[in-house]
Structure 1
Amino acid sequence: MKLKPTLLLTLALGSVAGLFAQQPSNPQIYGPVELPKTLIVDSTDVNKKAYSNTLLLNAALTLPNRKGKAVTPDENGYFRIPKLTANNGNNSMAVYSFDFISETYSTGELNLYGKGRYALYIDNKFIKSIEKTDAKTDSVAILSHPLTLTPGKKIIAVKAIILPKDSIEAQFKILYLKKGQKAEEAVAEQKSLSKEKYLTLEYMMNGKFISSVETSPNGNYTLLRYMVKNKAKTDYYTQLRNQKGEILRDDNFLNDSHWLKHAPSTLYKIKTEGKRNMLVIQHIPGGKENILVADLPEKSFVISPKMDALYYYKEEKGPKKDEKVIRHLDPDDRQPNWRNRSSIYKYDIGTGISTPVTFGYHSVSIMDIHDNGNKLLLGIYKRDWTKFPFYRTSILEYTASNGAVETLLSEQFGIDAAYYVPGADKILIFGSANAFNGIGKDLAKDMPANDYDKQMFLYNKQKKQAIPLTKHFNPAVQFGQFDYKNNSYVFLAENGSRKSLYRLDFKTNKISQIETKEDVVRNFSVSRINGSVWYIGQSTKNADRAYRIEKNKTHMVWDLSAEKLKSIKVSECKDWNYTSEDGTVIEGWYFLPPNFDPNKKYPLLVYYYGGTSPTQRTMEGAYSLPMFAAQGYVVYTLNPSGTTGYGQEFAARHLNAWGTRTASDIIEATKAFAANHSFVNAKKIGCFGASYGGFMTQYLQTQTDIFAAAISHAGISSISNYWGSGYWGIGYNSVAAYKSYPWNNPDLYVKHSPLFNADKIHTPLLLLHGSVDTNVPTAESVNMYNALKTLGRTVEFIEFTGQDHFILEHDRKISWTNTMFAWFAKWLQDNPKWWDDLYPSVSL
Structure 2
Amino acid sequence: MNYNSTWRGKAPRLTTALAILTLSTAAFAAPINKTDIKFIGPIAADMQLKPYQTEHQDAIINSLLPSIQQPTTSITVFGEKLKWQNLDKVNALTLGGLQALKFSTHAERFSQGTLTLKGIEKAQLFINGEKQTAKNEKYELALPQGDHQIVIIAEQVANWHDVEVDFSPNTDIDTLTFSTTEQHGLSAKQLFDATTVSALSLAPNAKQYLITKRHYQDSTGNQANLVTELKNDDQQTIYRFESGQPSNIIWSPDNNYLVYLLDGKLTQLNRKTLSLKVIANNLDGANSFAYYDNNSLIFSWSKSPTANNSLTKHYQGLQDRWSYARTTSQAYLLDINTGLSKALSQGPLSHSIEDFNSQRGTVLLSRGTEAMQAATHPTTELIELNIANASTTELGQFATFNQAKYTGDDIYVTAGPDFKEGLGRNLPDNMLANNYDGQLYLLTNNGQKATPLSREFDPAIGQLEVLANGDAIMKVTEQDSIALYLYDKSKQRFSKLNTGFDVVEQFSYSSNRSPMVLVSGSNASSPQQLKQLSISKNKATTVWDSQPQAYANTDIADLEEFNFTNTAGIEIKGRVYLPSNLDKNKQYPALVYYYGGTSPVTRGFTGRYPFNLWAEHGYVVYVVQPTGATGFGQQFSAKHVNAWGQYTADDIMQGTQALLKQYPFIDKQRLGNLGASYGGFMTMLLATKTDMFSASIAHAGISNITSYWGQGWWGYLYSGEASKNSYPWNNSTLYSQHSPVFHADKVTTPLLLLHGDADTNVPVGESHNMYTALKLLGKDVELIEYKGADHQIFARDQRFNWWDTMLAYFDKHLKQQPQWWQYLYPEK
User: TM class by shorter-chain length?
Assistant: 0.7 to 0.9
Q: State the match for 2:296 in structure 1.
A: 309
Q: State the match for 1:695 in structure 2.
A: 681
The alpha carbon displacement at 1:310 in A equals: 3.4
The alpha carbon displacement at 1:259 in A equals: 3.5
The alpha carbon displacement at 1:119 in A equals: 4.3
The alpha carbon displacement at 1:95 in A equals: 2.7
The alpha carbon displacement at 1:198 in A equals: 1.5
Q: 1:617 to 1:159 in 2, by over 3 A?
A: same
The alpha carbon displacement at 1:484 in A equals: 1.9
The one-letter code sitting in structure 2 at the alignment partner of 1:277 is: K
The alpha carbon displacement at 1:347 in A equals: 3.4
Matched, 1:593 2:583: no
130, 145, 154: which one aligns with 2:139: 145
Stretch deviating more after TM superposition (254-263 or 210-219): 254-263
The alpha carbon displacement at 1:727 in A equals: 0.5
Q: Distance in 2 between matches of 1:325 and 1:256?
A: 37
Equivalent position SS for 1:305: strand
Q: Distance in 2 between matches of 1:34 and 1:680?
A: 55
Q: Distance in 2 between matches of 1:445 and 1:542?
A: 43
Q: State the match for 2:381 in structure 1.
A: 394
Indicate if the aligned counterparts of 1:226 and 1:236 stay in contact, CA closer than 8 A: yes
Q: 1:94 to 1:268 in 2, by over 3 A?
A: same
Indicate if the aligned counterparts of 2:680 and 2:700 stay in contact, CA closer than 8 A: yes
The one-letter code sitting in structure 2 at the alignment partner of 1:105 is: F
476, 479, 498: which one aligns with 1:515: 498
Q: State the match for 1:524 in structure 2.
A: 507
Q: Distance in 2 between matches of 1:397 and 1:221?
A: 33
Q: Distance in 2 between matches of 1:226 and 1:109?
A: 39
> After the TM superposition, which residues 353-752 of structure 1 pair with which residues of structure 2 at under 5 Å, given as runs?
353-372=340-359, 374-383=361-370, 389-409=376-396, 411-421=397-407, 424-462=408-446, 464-484=448-468, 487-529=470-512, 530-550=514-534, 551-752=537-738
823, 827, 832: which one aligns with 2:813: 827
> After the TM superposition, which residues 38-187 of structure 1 pair with which residues of structure 2 at under 5 Å, given as runs?
62=61, 64=64, 67-68=67-68, 70=73, 78-81=87-90, 83=92, 94-100=99-105, 104-112=109-117, 119=123, 121-123=125-127, 125=131, 127-128=133-134, 144-150=138-144, 153=148, 155-157=150-152, 159=154, 161-163=156-158, 169-175=161-167, 177-180=169-172
The one-letter code sitting in structure 1 at the alignment partner of 2:527 is: A
Q: 1:652 to 1:110 in 2, by over 3 A?
A: same
Q: Distance in 2 between matches of 1:297 and 1:841?
A: 50
The alpha carbon displacement at 1:176 in A equals: 5.3
Q: Distance in 2 between matches of 1:380 and 1:162?
A: 72
Q: Distance in 2 between matches of 1:350 and 1:546?
A: 36
Describe the superposition over 1:276-306 as per-residue Cα deviations: whole angstroms up to 9, x where unpaired: 73432322x4443344457768643534422
The one-letter code sitting in structure 1 at the alignment partner of 2:222 is: A
The one-letter code sitting in structure 1 at the alignment partner of 2:42 is: G
Q: 1:194 to 1:574 in 2, by over 3 A?
A: farther
The alpha carbon displacement at 1:337 in A equals: 2.9
Q: 1:91 to 1:236 in 2, by over 3 A?
A: closer
The alpha carbon displacement at 1:332 in A equals: 1.8
Describe the superposition over 1:114-153 as per-residue Cα deviations: whole angstroms up to 9, x where unpaired: x6757462357474599xxxxxxxxxxxx64331113574
Q: 1:594 to 1:314 in 2, by over 3 A?
A: closer
Indicate if the aligned counterparts of 2:98 and 2:153 stay in contact, CA closer than 8 A: no
Give the fraction of aligned pairs with identical amino acids, expressed as a percent: 29
> After the TM superposition, which residues 748-827 of structure 1 pair with which residues of structure 2 at under 5 Å, given as runs?
748-827=734-813
Describe the superposition over 1:560-603 as per-residue Cα deviations: whole angstroms up to 9, x where unpaired: 22321112111111100011122211110011112111111000
Q: 1:841 to 1:706 in 2, by over 3 A?
A: same
Q: State the match for 1:31 in structure 2.
A: 42
The one-letter code sitting in structure 1 at the alignment partner of 2:270 is: Q
Indicate if the aligned counterparts of 1:314 and 1:342 stay in contact, CA closer than 8 A: yes
The alpha carbon displacement at 1:677 in A equals: 0.7
The one-letter code sitting in structure 2 at the alignment partner of 1:540 is: A
The one-letter code sitting in structure 2 at the alignment partner of 1:302 is: F
Stretch deviating more after TM superposition (302-311 or 733-742): 302-311
Q: Distance in 2 between matches of 1:517 and 1:357?
A: 42
Q: Distance in 1 between matches of 2:288 and 2:717?
A: 29
The alpha carbon displacement at 1:59 in A equals: 7.2
233, 238, 243: which one aligns with 1:243: 233
Q: Distance in 2 between matches of 1:320 and 1:564?
A: 45
Equivalent position SS for 1:740: coil
Q: State the match for 1:343 in structure 2.
A: 330
The alpha carbon displacement at 1:345 in A equals: 3.5
Q: 1:170 to 1:455 in 2, by over 3 A?
A: same
The one-letter code sitting in structure 1 at the alignment partner of 2:385 is: Y
| TM value normalised by structure 2 | 0.87
Q: Distance in 2 between matches of 1:172 and 1:479?
A: 59
The alpha carbon displacement at 1:315 in A equals: 4.1
Q: 1:278 to 1:327 in 2, by over 3 A?
A: closer
The alpha carbon displacement at 1:312 in A equals: 4.0
Indicate if the aligned counterparts of 1:689 and 1:713 stay in contact, CA closer than 8 A: yes
Q: 1:97 to 1:419 in 2, by over 3 A?
A: same
Describe the superposition over 1:343-363 as per-residue Cα deviations: whole angstroms up to 9, x where unpaired: 333334456544433232221
Equivalent position SS for 1:661: helix
Q: State the match for 2:24 in structure 1.
A: none
The alpha carbon displacement at 1:99 in A equals: 5.0
Q: Distance in 2 between matches of 1:229 and 1:83?
A: 39
Q: 1:254 to 1:223 in 2, by over 3 A?
A: farther
Describe the superposition over 1:244-297 as per-residue Cα deviations: whole angstroms up to 9, x where unpaired: 54444434598437332522353112355xxx73432322x4443344457768
Q: State the match for 2:201 in structure 1.
A: 214
> After the TM superposition, which residues 256-275 of structure 1 pair with which residues of structure 2 at under 5 Å, given as runs?
256=247, 258-260=249-251, 262-264=253-255, 266-272=257-263
The one-letter code sitting in structure 2 at the alignment partner of 1:30 is: G
Q: State the match for 1:46 in structure 2.
A: none
Equivalent position SS for 1:695: helix
Describe the superposition over 1:77-122 as per-residue Cα deviations: whole angstroms up to 9, x where unpaired: 75333659xx9xx966533133556574221222456x67574623
Stretch deviating more after TM superposition (411-420 or 655-664): 411-420
Indicate if the aligned counterparts of 2:405 and 2:465 stay in contact, CA closer than 8 A: no
Q: State the match for 2:29 in structure 1.
A: none
Provide the aligned length of Structure 1 versus Structure 2: 781
Q: 1:322 to 1:214 in 2, by over 3 A?
A: closer
The one-letter code sitting in structure 2 at the alignment partner of 1:199 is: L
* Structure 1 unaligned regions, length at least 5: 1-6, 15-19, 40-52, 131-142
The one-letter code sitting in structure 2 at the alignment partner of 1:466 is: A
| TM value normalised by structure 1 | 0.85
Q: 1:375 to 1:617 in 2, by over 3 A?
A: same
